[in-house]
A and B are shown apart, each in its own frame.
Chain A
């Protein structure tokens, strides 16, 4: 070889280079999201996105930080609309909100099981559901509470039922340019019941299975996570339980019914069989809790 080797510049399409934007309004944010299309990522709490970038699983060209947008960081409550939690409210802020703790305790408790204290100081419920993980901790209480997801999109701000929100593993109904601005939970007369999460390690772990079993104004609502491609409601079981007294026999029947409504997989965290066993336990305990609450 003779002469010098011409050096090429590395990393022109380098994995980690992106533009950062911090828009001040939803309109501005939407414009950026539309401009970059699939190559834009919304940055909110960042506890998932930044890990994905770090691990080389996401390669956005633009990161749109929505924390500069006014009005997304509040929790509001009134008797007509219920509770609205802004997209940028962190899970720890939720855990300290008196209304949430008093009226929607199950949601506060679910939020409190996400990650560590450090993570909950960053992570938001909007982010938790927008990732559409099948095991998102806050998804099951939201499903059980028939929450509405507030979305800023083509037609301005609209509401989408949480039941239409999750489409598949890591896929929501959101279109390019849509921004979750908050989550609204309707007001109810009474909510009883608990959120349960089964994990390998007690603290800072992902759910092997999680479940919300609550009674809203007399009706049992059951939602489960990590048992299907999306978090789900156990509608058939709920229908079966309607109007029934929760005896041990009824509970056992309900459990068998729930098993017909789920399709868990086996993975590194647990086998399919184990998930089914845990579903049984969580449903049994959840329903018994409702008896105790009466």
Chain B
């Protein structure tokens, strides 16, 4: 292969380094109106009355909407939300009314003229509390909502999904154990913090159809949800995602899109724009769900884990239309990448009066692995085994069985583990750089599968131009991960043409073909497969025509360097471009017409698991396995942690672009580092206390550790060129590896994130007072 596997430059590089790329907030239309949103001051309250007359009377105000303008419930997996509150507000910040005005200043000033009367209700501000029978109900009407068949809400409670794994015989597993230990962990809410805040513009045409420009990862999924919410036929709703300034899951679902559309319906064709502030981004887009984990494990003296009983309680927030699937993923992956014969898992999604939990890079895996990977180290210590050895003994390998009973086919976990142990020099103790500093090393494994309905689809169209160049059309979105470049590389390889000859177009539901979503680390795999099929389609057409032109059987023809050539007769061939519009015959007639390739893909043979046991032969498209090791230094006087070095190894099946995949992993590590050391959206009585970069810190360049990035390549049988996704998996082990290194350094288990200097120092003080 000449293109796949090489570090070609990003195809979107020039537009990005020159500032020329237009993100949604950079788009300006003549006559555009600006939106401000009236938001709930309470975490939970009944709306008694909304009076918008004062705002409507203001000069410059063109439209005002309330919950009455958005009657239909919508949502990806569970239709539990309206885009503006109707009967109740369920978190502080929920949209109650919105104004479109000539300027942003007028729109903001108009909010003061909207009067909302509330009756405050008791709030659920802790997921565990929310499970109790006396807890207030966040969604009393849950039973009337619609949801997908793979989710299990419990009407009359705050449980919006209860996913179960029942594998083997849990009691027998515990009986076989020499030790039984139980540990609990907590992962707080964090936020994606893309540098681009959410932004959307809507415009209504004269015929009532709507065009929406949105900074969204998944234009087709957005179109679907909005069509339900606003009774819009899909051919009357066009969603354009021109560019996405960072997603990490936060722009996967629908948020502010549902506010601009009803406003646009009232502004007589004038476009309506809403761009979130950073504070909005923190509170009113999505957050990563908080999670309480309890893991009870039975282990034998020889290191083999015989039983695991997990309880994961997720703080889903006010709406869990998306979150229910995170909870499902947390359930079916609940053992981590280990082969454990007896498993009992309850993964429970709980409605609370917190900001809306949603997809976040890792999709539950970062959260559960923070618990699982520390638990493994604790077990190792219990039986006097090294963290490496216990992972070798229990780690999944081909032929093993995971939590769902699926037999593992390809799995490079053991190779990754060895690679990382070597590069972090795991067994070597390092001394601190100063007397008050101590060092520690930690390791963590991780795995992740795309968590998506089994039959989600991808498609691609590739059009050939008369000069032998191509346009590749997909709706896989390059949100920074490099899909534009990688998909072009795969197409160029398949068609034997230089990548420069392909221009990619994405993100317009009227013009680019269907893609379910740009999420789940699925694009290289799913969209890649669709692209390859489109290329196969083109190839077939070209060979057909070349066969006629050359008089050589197409079995003996091959695409090579922009030509269709004979495999047998040297020099015999025809330039591909000569076939671009079909074949011109000797008599002047023509056949076939323009070459356009079409490809469609659904991951093969992925099937539902059993409702009661969670067991199934192939519940996911593929699993990505990997491992990370870290070296840290702790200041034992202040508690401050420096992450010095991270070694990472993932089995990606096939590296399509080394430079880009390294960038994915480096970014995942540093994002994981942020979640480990700094990040928490602090919620007190349902109110976010730090919704700004002043007090919610994400890593800067100064926090970057030395990073050693390696890959192993055990091909994914159904993957394009053997590739599988890694964009999310690479973040998963980062935080638990740091937590394990903290234990190695100071002998203290940090059971909750973030591991702030203050927490570390407090624990050190407690430890020394006990000793």
Contacts and interface: CB of A to CB of B under 8 A. Distances in A.
Given A201-B697, A203-B701, 17 more contacts: A5-B56, A5-B57, A7-B60, A8-B57, A9-B59, A10-B101, A200-B757, A201-B678, A201-B702, A201-B703, A204-B700, A205-B697, A206-B694, A268-B695, A277-B638, A278-B638, A281-B637
B389 interface: no
B397 to A, nearest CB: 40
B689 interface: yes
Contacts of A205: 697
Interface string A67-99: 000000000000000000000000000000000
A271 interface: yes
B685 to A, nearest CB: 14
B761 A277 contact: yes
A15 interface: yes
A5 B56 CA distance: 9
A200 B697 contact: yes
A35 B554 CA distance: 90
A274 B637 CA distance: 11
Nearest to A271: B758
B690 interface: yes
Shortest 10 CB-CB contacts between residues of A and residues of B: A10-B58, A7-B59, A11-B109, A203-B702, A201-B697, A274-B758, A9-B59, A281-B637, A10-B109, A203-B700
Nearest to B106: A10
Contacts of A268: 682, 689-690, 695
B356 to A, nearest CB: 22
B762 interface: yes
20 contacts: A5-B56, A6-B57, A7-B60, A7-B61, A10-B58, A10-B60, A16-B105, A200-B678, A200-B697, A200-B756, A201-B699, A202-B700, A203-B701, A203-B702, A205-B697, A268-B695, A274-B758, A274-B762, A277-B761, A277-B765
**Tier of interface size on chain A:** 20 to 34
Contacts of A14: 105, 109
B110 interface: yes
Nearest to B757: A200
A205 B105 CA distance: 30
- Say what secondary structure dominates the interface of chain B: mixed
A8 B697 CA distance: 43
Contacts, number: 72
Among A16, A268, A270, A284, chain B packs the most CB atoms within 10 A around the CB of A268
Nearest to A51: B694
Contacts of A206: 694
Interface in B668-722: 678, 682, 689-690, 694-695, 697, 699-703
Interface string B90-111: 0000000000010001101110
B59 A270 contact: no
Contacts of B59: 7-10
Contact of A11 (B106, B682, B694, B700): B106
Contacts of A9: 58-60
Contacts of B702: 201-203
Interface in A129-164: none
Contacts of A273: 762
B750 to A, nearest CB: 16
A177 B399 CA distance: 81
A209 B694 CA distance: 16
Interface string B597-613: 00000000000000000
B700 A201 contact: yes
Contacts of A30: none
A269 interface: yes
B62 to A, nearest CB: 11
Interface string A277-294: 110010010000000000
B237 to A, nearest CB: 32
Interface string A189-207: 0000000001011111110
Contacts of B640: 198
B269 to A, nearest CB: 20
